[in-house]
Structure 1
């Protein structure tokens, strides 16, 4: 927080696994999960969105990546292939400055850290157990409200059509 206050418009590339790990998911999924976290009155920590990728990175406590698979296994995550990734040591993520970024910057805050939600100089991070549960709930809600594309509706209609009897 001190470094950001000194140069609030300066983005940084920070290594994960030291002061935080990151959970990567679609921006829509993270936004909905954050809404659910707020409903449950849980801590909502900093998260960034990569504007050119429609992806968001939630900052979680270091060590989360090592136990992410177990956390996901304990939820009702329906589609295991769509589970958000969690990155720990050996990776890095671009973090924007605290000042509003210039247009066209590929990363900005979805939820900026604030002095009000900090312990000392470190912002509170989103708790991984609550995050994975809310991500699973958000995924379930998004899947049930998905409007299918015309192509997927056509494929479903073709698959559902009864086969005509074959002539010999």
Structure 2
């Protein structure tokens, strides 16, 4: 009986410690599985005009699925795509997410997006590394290199966030 109590406590501990949010520097995000999609609430409070911020799914720069939030002329554009190495992503012809809300006021970007559970061939419910890019410049409509190293959160298991 004692060993089953330990197992139950260990299981409770794993569920209780599940990462369903991120906050560092200017970026704050939380996520959950809802209505058959991954819903992400995203905020960056240090984004100005002609800058971008992003979330990438995967372990390294060479093969990430990304959601990019770009602020140009005071408007937020949300794009999805995939990285092929160190450089800007190749954007999808059509966004693979549903944007419920995206706005920019002062230096704060707020967005609420729903990502299909199969996002560009990747099951976003699976445990994996998420990358949060604080910011990068947009020059002549083109994404420039991010200005700091992306913050990585390992072993994000979105299926446990409800």
TM interval, short-chain normalised: under 0.3
Q: Which has the higher contact order (CA 8 A, sep 6+)?
A: 1
More helix by share: 1
